[in-house]
Amino acid sequence: MAAVLPLARLPRTCQTRLTGSQMLKTHYCGDLRKEHVGQEVTVAGWVHRRRDHGGLIFIDLRDRRGLVQVVFHPDDAPETHEIAGDVRSEFVLSVTGEVAARKEGTENSDMPTGEIEVRARKLEVLNEAKTPPFPINEETEVEELLRLRYRYLDLRRERMQRNLRLRDKTTIFIRKFLHERDFTEIETPILTNSTPEGARDYLVPSRMQPGSFYALPQSPQQYKQLLMVAGVERYFQIARCARDEDLRADRQPDFTQLDLEMSFATEEDVLSLFEELFSGLVEDVRPDLKYVSPFPRITYEESMRRFGTDKPDLRYGMELFDISDLAGSSEFGVFRNAVESGGAVEGICVPGGTEFSRKDIDSLTTFVQGLGAKGLVSIGILGQPGSLDEEGIRSPVAKYLALDLVEAAAKRSDAKQGDLLLLVAGEGGKPKLEPGSSSRVRPSLDGLRREVAARLKLADPQMLHYAFITEFPLVEWDEDEERWDALHHLFVAPMEEDLHYFETDPGRIRSRAYDTICNGEELGSGSVRIYRREMLERVLHMLGMDDAEAQKRYGHMLEAFEYGAPPHAGFAPGIDRIVAQLAQEEDIREVIAFPKTKSGAEPMTGAPFAVTEEQLRVLGISVVKQPE
């Protein structure tokens, strides 16, 4: 007896006809072509659009594969035509009829099925539909809360269907890619223990152990390292995670990440693997997009100096330049005072920016003030750099600026005639990560750089510019708690050559951590891990934990490292962010089937919601109402 292959494994050409005694369709709407002309078919789906042309009724029927035009003729099937007269948008239909070629001149080149139509012989209304709260058959702007309230309708729209299919293709590619390289997919627990690093945990009460709580995993960090101790060597999973943190366009309370760990691996092994993965992914699912190869590798210090951020958009220039060494002796008090207080004067050069109006510059000033800068100094380069005179510059503070200072700024920024210098001065403070620069100068210039690039449309929307950022600081100073915190997490290995800073200057310790960035967004983080007990204890002590707390929180890890833990490294890029960029969506909610709002609510189901007193009593929990 011949083996029967499941439908999903059949070649595409075999999938155009469905079989089975209970099937309400023989073909997908979007699969019908000229080669089906003359065949009787049964198609089923949703009414996308209905048109009544003086007797003839035309319906575009939609299913997961696309649209097909169905024609109802009063002479061919009077009863069917009568039923079709009552059909409305989003009704669910099953239609049986003959595939026919459209008359010459009536073909629709915008539809893959535009050369044919189905002439209906039989129509069954499988379900009626109320008028949708927003159009399904056109891409119109719809208020977000309304979209999420009726997400099951929003997902019917072509854009959302396309995004869901793209996400599916992405995860299929990732799994195939990693399985071909001998990785083993392993699931790790959803209910785990709470750890103090990172964002706040979502807690789950234990009924069987009243007063005790599980935590939802922010990442399977400890479990994947323990799998390396267990001898798995190459692990991955498409992991569900949760973090209780403030939300924005690239964050959700619960999210999905590709979690991966490799034993006996260095930074180079991990970064090379992921460059191959991302390159192959683009070529497989979005071959119409471009990407830069090889991926640039930029140290954290270089990235902060050149772009003011650890996730720069590399699709355009406008790199930061620093004139702090010259501004300290300037007659312009704003510059001089900033440098004398230990701050900095840095800026960007806007190509052709002298075309900006006074209103444009005022709006940019307001913009950077919203980012924490005190103001913005503009200098238009009207003359030729290298031979500037007073007529060659334009600035509201021109009378305070020495020409040699402007010439130096023009040279350091590689400015040309017609360019605009935009400078920010910041007073000294105690920056957490970028010593030598005011704590607000670089973040303000990073935001300004992005804003100017958006206004001038400098970024190629068809380009995915991946890069790796390396050598992050191991720790950052928490001014509120007055202690050191792990910048990524506390299992990141420090660089060997910086170990002597542990007791003298922890802020100077570089880590063996790395990020993947693309088009100004962080896609994921990873690192070479600590795998020796004594090194983990040293880090925990630096973070302020005594032996008792370290044992309570991480005793299982400390003990595991005593049983022959191998060197290992890993990475965890976000699936939601990867797919959003491939889909060219600005918000990850557009590639998640059922996302939350920025307040963490789900309008469709009403989550989160209050539970009953009985549910709380069983769990041994009482709720204290917060004062309004």
Lowest mean pLDDT among 7-21, 413-427, 487-501: 7-21
Single out the residue in 416, 431, 458 at which a domain terminates. 458
- Summarize pLDDT for 386-411 with one digit per residue, the tens: 999 989 999 999 999 999 999 999 99
The CATH number of whichever domain residue 440 belongs to comes to: 3.30.1360.30
pLDDT at res. 194:
83
pLDDT at res. 279:
98
Residue 200, pLDDT > 50, answer yes
The CATH number of whichever domain residue 23 belongs to comes to: 2.40.50.140
Give the side-chain half-sphere CA count within 13 A for 570.
33
- Distance separating alpha carbons of residues 512 and 468, to the nearest angstrom: 12
Structure-block tokens of residue 134: 């927003």
What is the separation of C-alpha 569 from the centre of its chain, rounded to a whole number of angstroms? 23
Residue 99, pLDDT > 50, answer yes
Mean pLDDT for all residues in the chain: 92
Whole-angstrom distance between the N-terminal and C-terminal Cα of the chain?
Answer: 72
By C-alpha distance, which of 373, 378, 383 is closest to 361?
378
Rounding to the nearest 10 degrees, give the CA dihedral for residues 401, 406, 408, 411. Answer: 170
With residue 290 as reference, give the H or E element that holds it: strand 290-291
Q: Within the chain, what is the greatest distance between any pair of CA atoms?
A: 94
pLDDT at res. 196:
61
Classify 569 as helix, strand or coil: strand
DSSP assignment, residue 589?
G
Pairing relationship of beta strands 475-478 and 420-426 according to DSSP bridges: unpaired
Structure-block tokens of residue 67: 């649209």
Give the side-chain half-sphere CA count within 13 A for 353.
27
By C-alpha distance, which of 358, 352, 343, 346 is closest to 381?
352
By C-alpha distance, which of 578, 593, 583, 308 is closest to 438?
308
Exposed/middle/buried for residue 193 (C-beta within 10 Å: 0-12, 13-18, 19+) = middle
Pairing relationship of beta strands 66-72 and 116-127 according to DSSP bridges: parallel
pLDDT at res. 3:
47
Classify 32 as helix, strand or coil: coil
Q: Which residue has the higher pLDDT, 5 or 339?
A: 339
Pairing relationship of beta strands 521-528 and 568-573 according to DSSP bridges: antiparallel
Residue 164 within a domain: no
Residue 483, pLDDT > 90, answer no
By C-alpha distance, which of 219, 213, 209, 214 is closest to 188?
219
Residue 388 within a domain: yes
pLDDT at res. 5:
41
Exposed/middle/buried for residue 315 (C-beta within 10 Å: 0-12, 13-18, 19+) = middle
- Distance separating alpha carbons of residues 195 and 215, to the nearest angstrom: 8
Residue 438, pLDDT > 70, answer no
- Distance separating alpha carbons of residues 351 and 348, to the nearest angstrom: 10
DSSP assignment, residue 620?
T
Residue 14, pLDDT > 70, answer no
- Distance separating alpha carbons of residues 531 and 264, to the nearest angstrom: 11
pLDDT at res. 574:
97
Tally of structural domains, the chain: 2
Residue 492 within a domain: no
**Going by C-beta distance under 8 Å and a sequence separation of 6 or more, which residues neighbour residue 234?**
181, 182, 183, 184, 261, 262, 263
Residue 194 within a domain: no
Residues of 317-326 as b/e, b for ≥16 C-beta within 10 angstroms?
ebbbbbbbeb
- Summarize pLDDT for 351-379 with one digit per residue, the tens: 999 999 999 999 999 999 999 999 999 99
Residue 119 within a domain: yes
pLDDT at res. 431:
43
- Summarize pLDDT for 547-603 with one digit per residue, the tens: 999 999 999 999 999 999 999 999 999 999 999 999 999 999 999 999 999 899 999
Lowest mean pLDDT among 20-24, 194-198, 211-215, 246-250: 20-24
Residue 230 within a domain: no
Q: Are 527 and 492 in contact (CB under 8 A)?
A: yes
Classify 113 as helix, strand or coil: coil
- Summarize pLDDT for 278-335 with one digit per residue, the tens: 999 999 999 999 999 999 999 999 999 999 999 999 999 999 999 999 998 888 999 9
pLDDT at res. 15:
43
Structure-block tokens of residue 22: 């209970």
Single out the residue in 109, 127, 145 at which a domain terminates. 127
* Backbone torsions φ then ψ of 351, nearest 5 degrees: -65, 130
Residue 6, pLDDT > 50, answer no
Cis amide linkage into residue 608, ω under 30° from 0: yes
Structure-block tokens of residue 537: 């204890």
Averaged pLDDT for residues 76-101: 96
Give the side-chain half-sphere CA count within 13 A for 585.
22
Pairing relationship of beta strands 344-350 and 377-381 according to DSSP bridges: unpaired
- Summarize pLDDT for 508-535 with one digit per residue, the tens: 999 999 999 999 999 999 999 999 999 9
The string of DSSP letters for 451-502 reads HHHHHHT-S-TTEE-EEEEE--BSEEEETTTTEEEESS-TTBPBPGGGGGGT
Residue 380 within a domain: yes
Give the side-chain half-sphere CA count within 13 A for 623.
12
Single out the residue in 409, 427, 458 at which a domain terminates. 458
Residue 489 within a domain: no
**Going by C-beta distance under 8 Å and a sequence separation of 6 or more, which residues neighbour residue 39?**
98, 99
Q: Which domain holds residue 39?
A: 15-127
- Summarize pLDDT for 230-242 with one digit per residue, the tens: 999 999 999 999 9
Tell me which residue has tokens 């009403």. Answer: 606
DSSP assignment, residue 374?
S
pLDDT at res. 7:
40
- Distance separating alpha carbons of residues 496 and 499, to the nearest angstrom: 6
Pairing relationship of beta strands 234-242 and 184-185 according to DSSP bridges: parallel
